[in-house]
Amino acid sequence: MTHITVTVDGVKYADQVEPRLLLVHYLREVVGKTGTPVGCDTSNCGACTVLMDGQSVKSCSVLAVQADGSDVTTIEGLANGELHPVQRAFHEEHALQCGYCTPGMIMAATDLLRDNPHPTEEEIRDGLEGNLCRCTGYENIVRAVKRAAEAGVAQ
């Protein structure tokens, strides 16, 4: 077992973990952040995307021990009293149906807009290539990211 200290959604956690424990399982089963789901085993689907020190990572492809000392933001910590503009845009554009990909999609979109505050449609599509959705056909996800960009998420 290895001792790690991780800040998750603003709260500091200190835990003993198996070195092989995936970050997503640490978040879900140790910290209880079940808002971040698991969709695949191969880091293709992106459902488990969280921000680690501000960068989006697929938490199924990060070991909990690699997150030692990091600041992790999950979908549960994104809203700050009120919905984050990307969350609001997903709601307003009907960019989710079953909602399973949504936490990862929102986190990936948030990171995308930090890198590129005013993306073109093509840049949005390319930027979200690592996040799969089976319900929406992506049309409204793209619209939502555009709307969030127009709302000035990135400032």
Tell the smallest beta-carbon distance from residue 95 to another protein (Å).
Answer: 9
- Which of 52, 59, 90, 147 binds another protein (CB under 8 A)? It is 90
Largest CA distance in the chain: 47
Q: Is the dihedral of CA 42, 46, 51, 53 positive or negative?
A: positive
Per CB under 8 A, which region of 51-59, 65-73, 132-140, 146-154 contacts another protein? 132-140
What angle, rounded to 10 degrees, do the helices at 102-115 and 139-150 form?
40
DSSP code for 51: E
The token pair that represents 82 in the structure block: 């009120």
Tell the smallest beta-carbon distance from residue 67 to another protein (Å).
Answer: 18
Q: Is 134 in the site for another protein (CB under 8 A)?
A: yes
- Alpha helices per DSSP H over 30-131: 85-92, 102-115, 121-127
Q: Is 74 in the site for another protein (CB under 8 A)?
A: yes
- Which of 2, 66, 68, 135 binds another protein (CB under 8 A)? It is 135
Distance CA 81, CA 140 (A): 25
Q: Is 24 in the site for another protein (CB under 8 A)?
A: no
- Interface positions with another protein (CB under 8 A): 18, 20-21, 28-29, 33-42, 44-45, 47, 74-76, 78-79, 83, 87, 90-92, 94, 96-103, 106, 121, 124-126, 128-142
